[in-house]
Structure 1
Amino acid sequence: MAATVAARWWEDAAISVGMVAVQLAGAAYMVVLTPILALGLDPLFLVTFGSLSTGILALPFALNLDRNKWPSELSNRLILELVVLSLGGVTVFQALMLDGMKKTSPAIASAMLNLAPGFIFVVAGCLRFERVDLKCRYTRAKIVGTLLCLGGAITMSILQSPATPQGRRSPDLAAWVVGCLCLLGAVLVLSGTIILQAATLIRFPAPFTLCAMTSLIGALLTGMFQVFTTGRLGPGTLQISTGIILSLVFVGSLVSSVSIMYQTWVLEKKGPVLVSLFSPTQTMGSAIFSALFLGRVVQPASILGMLFLFSGLYAVLWAKKKEGHVLPPADRVVADDIEKPLLLPR
């Protein structure tokens, strides 16, 4: 029993450290992309070739680790889910996120992502992917923690106003508002696709294959959309060499591939709410990296938002950890099934 508890503790610790690393890597990539997007790089081109590279890099893992989990035939329902996941999670989400980040800042973009846990918690609770019992203090703690995350994201979005490195307000406030709306749309799309991904993995428990297929389909759909809207498939009007752009796309795809595959694995192990709750780490990383490397002004009051975000994250993680130890054995089976809805039957 003690060995099982120790093994579970080490697994939880490794997952937490890995998720923090994934979020910080995402924050660094967003900061690097910001000046490149400002030079004229088309976000649709970045999504197309970034997703294509992600799919290609994920294929060897899918072939070696997931082959025995593949169904004998693809049902129409599974094909529809793959297309919807690709369209929402790859094309629409990334295009809205990159365009919104281009009009605002990496710190605001990552802060908006912290709205996702609230949406996901509500939907996951309704679908029984997450244990919800208002009489239980741990459920109440998860609700309070989720509200703190939401409050922190909203606080940062309001207080981190558009400003230049010298502290002067950006003259294009309309673009800032449009960018925030794009980011909000991206969060709504992300929330829906994470829940759908969790449901799809129940019937198709092959996370690396799912990552590869949705990335490749998403790259095809995004490329078709760019050709339809702009008449060509190209990087846009660039002020730097295409070689630098392709190198950036490849490196970003490598980081993105590892991050997506790792998050999909954690999604299978722990459920959608836990995955989304680590996004505050990206908010902090983006704010710090933007201040260090882009000269972005971080409003002192926005630190309050960060405190809300991390307080909420800690509250939810604490509650989820305690749930697994204090529930009666009969209820614990149900709670484990809800907290880990994507495990294969043992």
Structure 2
Amino acid sequence: MGRIANIFHSIKPPLLMVLVQIIFAGINVMYKLAANDGMSLRVIVVYTLMFATVIMVLLALIFERKSLKKVNRKVLLQAFLCGLFRGSLVQNLYLQSLVHTSATFAVAMVNLAPAFTFVLAICFKMEKLVIRTNAGKAKVCGTLIGISGAMVFTFYKGIDVNLLKHHDHQQVGHGPSYHGTGHFTIGAFFGLLSCVSFSLWLINHVKMSVGFPYLYSSTALICLIGSIQGALFAVHTVRDWNQWKLGSNVRLLVVVFVVC
């Protein structure tokens, strides 16, 4: 495990960022494959959070066992909010956007997260808008350009690329996904909400990290609480228990790929 950590530390930050983006792109393609195969995306959220919880709890017990003594009500409340905004809520909104639009569009909408984070940080008085300085002007211009680009992208649908040719499967109980005007608009709206949720997580996670600076333990708490929230929502909305069966198909591959 130490060798793996040394390998990641030896990678330069720009290359590491590129690697993360490549993995993120692969995850979106896998999500789309599972959606086209008819798997409920709510179930995917639960499985990924549950498996992530197991992994992060093991890491927390190995490296940060002493951090358990510092868990209090404030930390649990912050973990609950982080689990909601970054775990169950943002993933369900994002995956619904992925269903109604496309993997390319959903990823493009994620670029709005910095703009929403900047606006919300100003609202929560965590950031000062100094418009007269060059830095302040750059932030405002970047925010406006990001939001404008997303709005333009909403009206540009592009060409459909079918990853799977399964026409008999139903998509999350609502029929196959397609890019009709109504569905695409709904998908864009879900994408915007997921960005807002992600931004709220960033703001709340900053405060949590100040009072509870334990990476593995905080992530384990967030995944645990998020998996519970996602499971309650999925059990209430997904009535077909066959959706919970992974099997040796693309569904199991998606869950394993996302968790790894």
Q: Same fold (TM over 0.5)?
A: yes
Q: 5, 14, 17: which one pairs with 1:16?
A: 14
The residue type equivalent to 1:59 in the other structure is V
Structure 1 partner of 2:248:
243
* Contact kept in structure 2, 1:71 and 1:204, CA below 8 Å: no
Q: CA deviation at 1:91?
A: 0.8
Gap change, CA 1:171 and 1:50, over 3 Å in 2? closer
Structure 1 partner of 2:49:
51
CA offset digits 1:218-265 (Å, max 9, x no partner): 1122112211223465526x9xx72222232112111xxxxxxxxxxx
Gap change, CA 1:137 and 1:95, over 3 Å in 2? same
Q: CA deviation at 1:128?
A: 5.9
Structure 2 partner of 1:164:
160
* Contact kept in structure 2, 1:37 and 1:102, CA below 8 Å: yes
Q: CA deviation at 1:173?
A: 2.3
**Partners of 1:136 and 1:171 in 2: how far apart?**
43
Q: CA deviation at 1:187?
A: 1.3
**Partners of 1:197 and 1:16 in 2: how far apart?**
24
Gap change, CA 1:232 and 1:107, over 3 Å in 2? same
Which gives a bigger RCO, structure 1 or 2 (Cα 8 Å, sep 6+)? 2
1:216 partnered with 2:224: yes
**Partners of 1:156 and 1:220 in 2: how far apart?**
34
Q: TM-score if structure 2 supplies the norm length?
A: 0.79
* Contact kept in structure 2, 1:223 and 1:233, CA below 8 Å: no
Q: CA deviation at 1:66?
A: 3.1
Q: CA deviation at 1:195?
A: 0.8
Structure 1 partner of 2:210:
202
**Partners of 1:125 and 1:15 in 2: how far apart?**
28
The residue type equivalent to 1:250 in the other structure is V
Gap change, CA 1:247 and 1:142, over 3 Å in 2? same
Q: Which runs of 5+ in 1 are unaligned?
A: 1-10, 255-346
Q: 110, 113, 124: which one pairs with 1:113?
A: 110
Q: CA deviation at 1:131?
A: 6.1
**Partners of 1:205 and 1:126 in 2: how far apart?**
25
* Contact kept in structure 1, 2:27 and 2:257, CA below 8 Å: no
The residue type equivalent to 2:225 in the other structure is I
* Contact kept in structure 2, 1:111 and 1:157, CA below 8 Å: no
Q: TM-score if structure 1 supplies the norm length?
A: 0.61
* Contact kept in structure 2, 1:45 and 1:234, CA below 8 Å: no
Q: Which runs of 5+ in 2 are unaligned?
A: 1-8, 163-177
The residue type equivalent to 1:243 in the other structure is S
Bigger CA drift: 194-203 or 141-150? 141-150
The residue type equivalent to 1:164 in the other structure is D
Q: CA deviation at 1:19?
A: 2.5
Q: 72, 85, 91: which one pairs with 1:75?
A: 72
Gap change, CA 1:172 and 1:133, over 3 Å in 2? closer
Q: CA deviation at 1:32?
A: 2.3
Q: Aligned with 1:135: secondary structure?
A: coil
Q: Aligned with 1:235: secondary structure?
A: helix
Structure 2 partner of 1:32:
30
Root-mean-square deviation (CA), in Å?
2.6
CA offset digits 1:292-344 (Å, max 9, x no partner): xxxxxxxxxxxxxxxxxxxxxxxxxxxxxxxxxxxxxxxxxxxxxxxxxxxxx
The residue type equivalent to 2:256 in the other structure is F
* Contact kept in structure 1, 2:101 and 2:179, CA below 8 Å: no
Q: What are the within-5 Å matches in structure 2 for residues 1-346 of structure 1?
A: 14-68=12-66, 70=67, 72-125=69-122, 127=124, 129-130=126-127, 132-159=129-156, 161=157, 163-165=159-161, 172-231=180-239, 234-235=242-243, 242-244=247-249, 245-254=251-260
